[in-house]
Amino acid sequence: MSVEDYRINAFVRSVLVRRWIDTSRMDFGTSNGVVYLKGMFRQTYRRRICDELEEEEDLVRVVHRLEKDIRSISGVKDVIFRLSNFEKKSGKWTRRVTTLT
């Protein structure tokens, strides 16, 4: 890992903390300017919303903003998300549906 990748990791950590993302449930790293985020997207703090649909939309906005913030870090070439509870399809973030078996 290069010094530049370590610098990017420090900025990624600050973005995650600023957005109240639970870093204990998400691993991240950088290799040659490509940021990898893996795990469960979960916020440790957020405003209370009574309506489930509104809460869902709020979380999608936070994931979208997170992606935008990380892509804006100097030296970042790409961001690869492997989240267990969110996915990006056709350029839009959606919550991943889990089935109980």
Q: How far is CA 16 from the centre of its chain?
A: 7
Return the DSSP state at 12: H
Backbone φ and ψ for 23, nearest 5 degrees, come out as -75, -10
Strand 34-39 vs strand 26-31: parallel, antiparallel, or unpaired?
Answer: antiparallel
Res. 100: pLDDT tops 60: no
Q: How far is CA 44 from the centre of its chain?
A: 13
Q: What is the pTM of this model?
A: 0.83
Q: What is the CATH number of domain 3-95?
A: 3.30.70
- Number of Cβ atoms within 10 Å of the Cβ of 87: 15
pLDDT number for residue 101: 53
| The one-letter amino acid at 34 | V
pLDDT digits (tens, 9 = 90+) for 9-40: 999 999 999 989 999 999 999 999 999 999 99
Specify the long-range contacts of residues 44-47, CB closer than 8 Å, at least 24 apart: 44/20, 45/20, 46/20
